[in-house]
Chain A
Amino acid sequence: MPGRVLAIWCMDWPAVAAAAAAGLPATDPVVVTLANRVVACSASARAAGVRRGLRRREAQSRCPSVHVATADPGRDARHFEGVTAAVDEVVPRAEVLRPGLLVLSVRGAARYFGSEQSASERLVDAVAAAGAECQVGIADQLATAVFAARAGCIVEPGGDAAFLAALSIRQLATEPSLSAPGRDDLADLLWRMGIRSIGQFAELSRTDVASRFGADAISAHRFARGESARGPSGRDSPPELDAVMDCDPPVDRVDAAAFAGRSLAGELHRSLEAAGVGCTRLAIHAITADGEEMHRVWRCAEPLTEDATADRVRWQLDGWLNRRRDGRPAGLGGPIVTLRLRPVEVVSASALQLPLWGSSGDDDRLRARRALVRVQGLLGPESVQVPVLSGGRGPAERITFTPLGDEPVPRADPGQPWPGQLPEPSPAVLLDDPVELLDAEGNPVRVTGRGVFSADPVRLTGDGRSGRLRWWAGPWPVDERWWDPQESGKAGRTARVQVLIEEPGGRGDVVDRAMLLCYRQRQWFLEGVYE
């Protein structure tokens, strides 16, 4: 039998931590907001009608006595430290998935306490003594155990798939620490395709899922079938990857700990980079002046970056140091003298490195990429786009944009012949504004089924771009997608025209403007301006 996994889930942890930080009893209504939306609420607030995703004002109107706090991952991690310490008293070597969620191997504990049931009872008691409510779930696989904890049940050995089968497909994306970003979209897509439960998803064949939905869907599918959630890519790291720092003077303040964490994270990532691996599970060790040792494992869905590592080290040290200050009996004996970061699980760094700037691995490329990733951190993952040459006929469709970090795959193969492709030069400005093309009588000009103008065009009118045509060429019909009833119904007949427009210049003279027009859906669009 494989090792059974126990998950401890403290529900509404951000709200519980916020209540504890404000000194309120756990029964008070509390909501935690991010960007004016409720991201977590306590049970009493939920009883008053508050839900996740509500606006803050709406939450306050439904429950006027509610305490509102803003989201703070550092606060969550700091207050969770007490819970992990309490769990450690009962069963050592718990791993933190995120603040509010712990997983541990239950085999030894079940043997020691007699049964899995009694071990989980002990754990619930221990967490309750630390001042938090929790639910416990046990299953064969880590991810299933997390969902069992949400349901508060123990899944029989070998019953993972049967337990998951009844859950809604939307549940795939509910636990962010187990899913890569973009899982929401997958769950939504599967829902719209009529796959309503995880069981239905598990019934699909692996090859079908892999060829249609991508890498993250494969891990979701493995999870749905109750197979081992972590791929075989994880391997034990050689010990020389550890980053150790002797703190002199000893660290006893949070700001000093943050500095120490940042420099140590930089050191760790240099050694990881040299070894060509990325870290998905990080152990943080600390030794105090009194010789006491502390140890905690953090696990992440995506390989850790340097900043993410520094954050985790800071949260962890923050938690340890603050616990000490509270004077709890389990606290530290003194300031931290030695700090050690150990990558417990590493994956090949090809998952991190993407061939964005060509194949040469020079410094410039990394420098540029770092700057762009920082902008991505400021503005969101979709904000930085990388262009790649694509196949097509119009100027806009010949460039495909992909977000930085994704593989830059063109929409169509540029190597294929594209008859009817516009020759050089291309317009320097791409637009998509509706305009009108008129003949001598002022009637609109159309493109006929034979691919010619209904009448010679004379004037162009549009938003700020009106003028008499000095020259035109075309129409050049675009004959594509006629075999596809959906696409051709949408696009209709398509043709392109180049025109020269006479416009009044700045100094009273007449200047030409060259434009590219596109006819589609019985309407002219200004597609580009040559300048």
Chain B
Amino acid sequence: MSELLPDSLPRGSVAVLSGARSLPLRLVAAVTAAGGHVAIVGQPEVGLLAAVEMGADLSRLAVIPDPGADPVEVAAVLMDGLDLVVLGLGGRSVAPTRARAVTARARQKGCTLLVVDGDWHGASARLESRVCGFEVTGAGAGAPTPGCGRISRVRLATRASGRSVGLARVVGG
């Protein structure tokens, strides 16, 4: 993950994330651990304990579970002061003119915008992650025996594409 991110998401860019929802949490954990401030907008279902286990610093994190009728506006306001804004669009789409204005604002303020659960016209990077398997410990070799063990790891395959990452490539995580 760390090998993928620094060059694919420069400050002030907009990225669309899709697939497994632990990918945005991983980014949130990385940014807060490095001393940045993060807001998560419009994602009431986010499991922050998972972010803590990935190394997130909760004191640098704020959550706006219900951003009202216009989550994009809220994200645009937050760009003033935060280093990373995770915006859940809830399946809604954003008009290209609006998206262009907010993208310009993100670039000017040096705030990275991650769009999840929706599409963003003109995003500079697109990251798609897919669960490719679960590791179960203590359930015997081979196929896990029902009734024994516990889930110990989630394997993700992340695929990044877009202008700022150049060619598409696949990284296991």
Given known pairs A372-B81, A375-B77, A378-B77, the reply for A425 and B61 (CB within 8 Å) is: no
How many B residues are at the interface, by size bracket? 35 or more
A window 405-440: CB within 8 A of B: 423-431
A-B contact pairs, 23 of them (CB 8 A): A369-B81, A371-B39, A371-B79, A372-B81, A375-B64, A379-B68, A386-B58, A396-B47, A401-B63, A423-B150, A424-B53, A425-B50, A425-B53, A425-B151, A426-B49, A426-B53, A428-B47, A471-B136, A512-B134, A514-B154, A529-B21, A530-B154, A531-B154
**Chain A residues proximal to chain B, CB less than 8 Å:** 356-358, 364-365, 367-372, 374-375, 378-379, 383-389, 395-396, 398-399, 401, 404, 423-431, 456, 469, 471-473, 498, 500, 511-514, 528-531
Bound complex: CA A469 to CA B131 (Å):
17
A399 (CB) vs chain B CBs: closest residue: B48
A530 near B67: Cβ-Cβ < 8 Å: no
A429 near B46: Cβ-Cβ < 8 Å: yes
Interface window among B4-12, B95-103, B140-148: B140-148
User: Smallest Cβ distance from B32 to chain A, in angstroms?
Assistant: 10
Query: 3 shortest A-B CB distances, which residue pairs?
Result: A371-B81, A368-B37, A428-B22
Given known pairs A357-B37, A427-B47, A428-B21, the reply for A404 and B62 (CB within 8 Å) is: yes
B window 72-88: CB within 8 A of A: 73-74, 77-83
Residue from the list A370, A384, A399, A472 in contact with B81, Cβ < 8 A? A370
User: Smallest Cβ distance from B126 to chain A, in angstroms?
Assistant: 17
Q: Tell me, yes or no, whether B92 is within 8 Å of chain A by CB.
A: no
User: Smallest Cβ distance from A365 to chain B, in angstroms?
Assistant: 7
User: Smallest Cβ distance from B124 to chain A, in angstroms?
Assistant: 23
B window 117-149: CB within 8 A of A: 131, 133-134, 136, 139, 143-149
Instruction: Please indicate the chain A residues that have their CB under 8 angstroms from the CB of B82 in the complex.
Output: 368, 371
Instruction: Please indicate the chain B residues that have their CB under 8 angstroms from the CB of A387 in the complex.
Output: 48, 58, 61, 63
B window 35-69: CB within 8 A of A: 35-37, 39, 45-50, 52-53, 57-68
Task: List 8 additional contacts besides A378-B68, A426-B49, A428-B22; criterion CB under 8 Å.
Answer: A378-B77, A379-B67, A379-B68, A383-B65, A428-B47, A471-B139, A471-B143, A511-B131
B21 near A514: Cβ-Cβ < 8 Å: no
A456 (CB) vs chain B CBs: closest residue: B146
A506 (CB) vs chain B CBs: closest residue: B130
Instruction: Please indicate the chain A residues that have their CB under 8 angstroms from the CB of B2 in the complex.
Output: none
Instruction: Please indicate the chain A residues that have their CB under 8 angstroms from the CB of B52 in the complex.
Output: 389, 399, 426
B154 near A372: Cβ-Cβ < 8 Å: no
Bound complex: CA A300 to CA B69 (Å):
32
Instruction: Please indicate the chain A residues that have their CB under 8 angstroms from the CB of B50 in the complex.
Output: 395, 425-428
Residue from the list A369, A473, A529 in contact with B148, Cβ < 8 A? A473
B window 137-173: CB within 8 A of A: 139, 143-154
Residue from the list B47, B60, B133 in contact with A358, Cβ < 8 A? B60
B49 near A398: Cβ-Cβ < 8 Å: yes
A371 (CB) vs chain B CBs: closest residue: B81
A364 near B37: Cβ-Cβ < 8 Å: yes
B20 (CB) vs chain A CBs: closest residue: A531
Residue from the list A386, A399, A401, A498 in contact with B151, Cβ < 8 A? A498
Q: Tell me, yes or no, whether B14 is within 8 Å of chain A by CB.
A: no
Instruction: Please indicate the chain B residues that have their CB under 8 angstroms from the CB of A471 in the complex.
Output: 136, 139, 143-146
Given known pairs A425-B153, A473-B150, the reply for A430 and B47 (CB within 8 Å) is: yes
Q: Tell me, yes or no, whether B25 is within 8 Å of chain A by CB.
A: yes
Given known pairs A430-B45, A514-B154, A531-B131, the reply for A473 and B81 (CB within 8 Å) is: no
